[in-house]
Chains A and B, each alone.
Chain A
């Protein structure tokens, strides 16, 4: 199994609902919660998030595109964050999920350094490294109705820009979406083989002009008016 997410950059509107839903679910989760917030009402509020949404622009006005870019752990196949971990706290499961065992972590930060994507964040209160769990405590929980056995962020996304599934299964929705839409892994050149795939914006749909469609050739208002009246008569007497 190779569980992971597809993130659709063609539909992500950058609302941060996935980020807050993630914090809500995982903050209360026994696996890595709580996710401490420091100075929550102070001058310099900060906290642990598994999923952050950033916003970029590509190109220059007017040919510019705003890209909303959510990032969480990509559950890399070649996860250096796991191999560098000296304590064995970081591990990759058979289903592909990369996790941190909170009981083993010594808070050395090395895994965070080894992750190219900023997917790991140290919880300064517990002293342990935390990261996206792919909602391991949802996706396999048979007590949940099947349609809810999905990560919190996927369920929260209002534009369905996030999909969860098994990339080992070529028939899965994530595999198919990724294949159909040119899904790519972030910074593939670093060789981490990230499992999560990002879908680039689709090509702009072309409204194919019917050659029979009347061309709006410039004519005088009067000529246009009489043509319009003729057409109206035609249309209504049918």
Chain B
């Protein structure tokens, strides 16, 4: 798939924002239930929540840029019965005001019980939104790299890891050590990395790959006649002519070619910036706002690279009809 930057930004930014808000809400509930310590200090949590909310908002705005006909965007709330994109739109529509009130509760010191009650709503909506976003991709059967449960898992884990990083960054940017948050973030990054490794293993394994021969129906007899008496064999197919000399919507959208070298660099960036740098910073624990900003920017860049690969490595069945041997 041709990586669309508005969508990359959307999923990375709103993923982090949703992850951060989900974590804050989760601990808020935990604290109210007396399971964990109360989140401190409230002003910085409020700031972190605000930044998270803004990230989600920025992400949603960015996603609107992807629309070729935004004047009809409002209709996207109508098809929640079947469409994950519509569900995402509906849930995020609920999430945004709920989360805004929740953030306000932090700023204006609303009664903790009320805030915790709201936190339940925010948590559920954040998770649902993240899940819906992921399911937009995971529901697409023509793209085997997307059509797997590993995708929602990756989205949830990466959203939470990067969200935790945002909270740590706010705290450390204000000189706090934030060691519990850092530990949590670290753990989330490790699990997310494992999840991502598993995802890539799955993709490489070629499971559920579809071939050009399947796409053309070679097994159905679309092939030269078999010699009398021999069982029909699957013969190799190849594209002779795509029927167009220059680009089409389909080639622009689905058929992208990434040079192996380039892919290597992007992969290195995804691991280095998206996982390694944030984790080093989390471990070293320098409580400086410059470091915090750098870690967040690195993580964002790294996750954009990861998301870029998520798109670039996705091989839609349409590519078969344009001559590729397998998805």
In the complex they form, do A and B come into direct contact, defined as C-beta atoms under 8 angstroms apart? yes
A interface residues with partner B (beta carbon < 8 Å): 9, 16, 19, 43-46, 48-49, 52-60, 63-67, 69, 71, 80, 82-89, 103-110, 112-118, 121-122, 124, 126-128, 182, 184, 186-187, 189-192, 198, 200-201, 203-204
Is there an interface contact between B253 and A112, defined as CB atoms closer than 8 Å?
Answer: yes
B83 engages A83 (CB within 8 Å): yes
On whether the beta carbons of B82 and A56 are closer than 8 Å, the reply is: no
Q: Which residue of B lies closest to A122 (CB)?
A: B249
A204 to B254, CA, bound (A): 37
Residue pair A55, B214 in contact (C-beta under 8 Å): no
Stretch with Cβ within 8 A of A (4 or more), from B25-33, B64-72, B269-277:
B64-72
Q: Looking at the assembled complex, report how far the CB atom of B59 sits from the nearest CB atom of chain A, in whole angstroms.
A: 15
- At the interface with chain A, which of B42-50, B164-172, B316-324? B316-324
Q: Once the chains bind, are A65 and B217 in contact (CB under 8 Å)?
A: no
User: With A and B bound together, what is the CA distance between A134 and B75 in angstroms?
Assistant: 25
Shortest beta-carbon distance from B238 to chain A in Å: 5
Within 8 A of A (CB), among B246-269: 246-250, 253-254
Tell whether B61 is near chain A: CB-to-CB under 8 Å.
no
Least CB distance from B212 to A in Å reads: 8
Q: Check A182 against B68 for contact (C-beta < 8 Å).
A: no
Query: Which A residue sits closest to B237, measured CB to CB?
Result: A58
- B window 70-90: CB within 8 A of A: 70-73, 75-79, 82-86, 89
B216-A67 in contact (CB<8A): yes
**What is the CB-to-nearest-CB distance from A198 to chain B, in angstroms, rounded to a whole number?**
6
Query: What residue in chain A is nearest B235 (Cβ atoms)?
Result: A59
A128 to B213, CA, bound (A): 32
CA distance A49 to B242 in the complex (A): 13
- Which partner residue on chain A sits nearest B241 by CB separation? A55
* Residues on A with beta carbons closer than 8 Å to the beta carbon of B82: 82-84
Query: Does B143 touch A at the CB level, under 8 Å?
Result: yes
In the bound complex, do residue A116 and residue B142 qualify as a contact, i.e. CB atoms below 8 Å apart? yes
A residues near B250, Cβ cutoff 8 Å: 118, 121
Partner of A89 from B75, B242, B317, B322 at Cβ < 8 Å: B75
Residues of B within 8 A of A128 (CB): 68-69
Shortest CB distance A123–B (Å): 8
Are A87 and B79 in contact, CB atoms less than 8 angstroms apart? yes
Chain B residues within an 8 Å CB radius of A9: 222
CA distance A110 to B244 in the complex (A): 24
Known contacts A109-B253, A190-B141: A71-B321 contact under CB 8 Å: yes
Q: Please determine whether B70 and A106 come into contact, CB atoms closer than 8 angstroms.
A: yes
Further 13 A-B residue pairs, CB within 8 A, beyond A187-B215, A201-B221: A44-B247, A46-B244, A46-B249, A52-B244, A56-B237, A67-B237, A84-B136, A86-B86, A104-B75, A118-B250, A191-B141, A192-B141, A203-B225
Q: Which of B71, B142, B238, B249 contacts A121 (CB 8 A)?
A: B249
Residues of B within 8 A of A (CB): 1, 66-73, 75-79, 82-86, 89, 136, 139-143, 210, 212-218, 220-225, 235-244, 246-250, 253-254, 316-318, 321-322
Please measure, in the bound complex, the distance between the C-alpha atom of A124 and the C-alpha atom of B223, giving whole angstroms: 37
Known: A83-B83, A186-B215. A118 touches B72 (CB 8 A): no
**Set of chain B residues within 8 Å of A19, measured between Cβ atoms:** 243
- Residues from chain A with a CB closer than 8 A to the CB of B247 are 44, 46
Whether B69 lies near A84 (C-beta < 8 A) is no
Q: B80 — nearest CB in chain A belongs to which residue?
A: A86
CB distance A44 to B246 under 8 Å?
yes
Q: Are A16 and B243 in contact (CB under 8 A)?
A: yes
- Whether B78 pairs with A60 at a CB distance below 8 angstroms is no
Distance in Å: Cβ of A139 to nearest Cβ of chain B = 25
Return chain B residues, CB-CB under 8 Å to A105. 69, 72
In the complex, what residues of A have CB within 8 A of residue B1's CB?
A: 113
A54 contacts B249, C-beta separation under 8 Å: no
Contact residues in B for A44 (Cβ distance below 8 Å): 246-247
Chain B residue at minimum C-beta to C-beta distance from A185? B217
Evaluate contact between A110 and B85: CB separation under 8 angstroms.
yes
Q: Are A108's CB and B222's CB within 8 A? A: no
Report chain A residues within 8 Å CB of B89.
86
Partner of B321, one of A16, A88, A118, A126: A118
Task: List A contacts of B217 (CB < 8 A).
Answer: 184, 186, 198, 200
In Å, the complex CA distance between A57 and B235 comes to 10
Query: Is B248's CB under 8 angstroms from A121's CB?
Result: yes
Contact B214 A189 (CB under 8 A): yes
Could you pull out 20 A-B pairs where Cβ atoms are within 8 angstroms?
Answer: A44-B246, A44-B247, A52-B248, A58-B222, A58-B237, A84-B139, A85-B79, A86-B76, A87-B72, A87-B76, A87-B78, A105-B72, A106-B68, A108-B85, A112-B249, A113-B140, A127-B69, A182-B221, A184-B220, A201-B222
What's the Cα separation between A49 and B322 when bound, in Å?
15
Closest to A67 in B: B222
Given B72, B75, B84, B246, which contacts A45 in the complex, CB threshold below 8 Å?
B246
B76 nearest CB neighbor, chain A only: A86
Q: State in angstroms the CA–CA spacing of A87 and B213 once bound together.
A: 35
**CB of B251 to closest CB in A, whole Å:** 9
Asked if B223 and A65 make an inter-chain contact with CB atoms under 8 angstroms apart, the answer reads yes
| Complex contacts, A110 vs chain B, CB 8 Å | 83, 85, 136
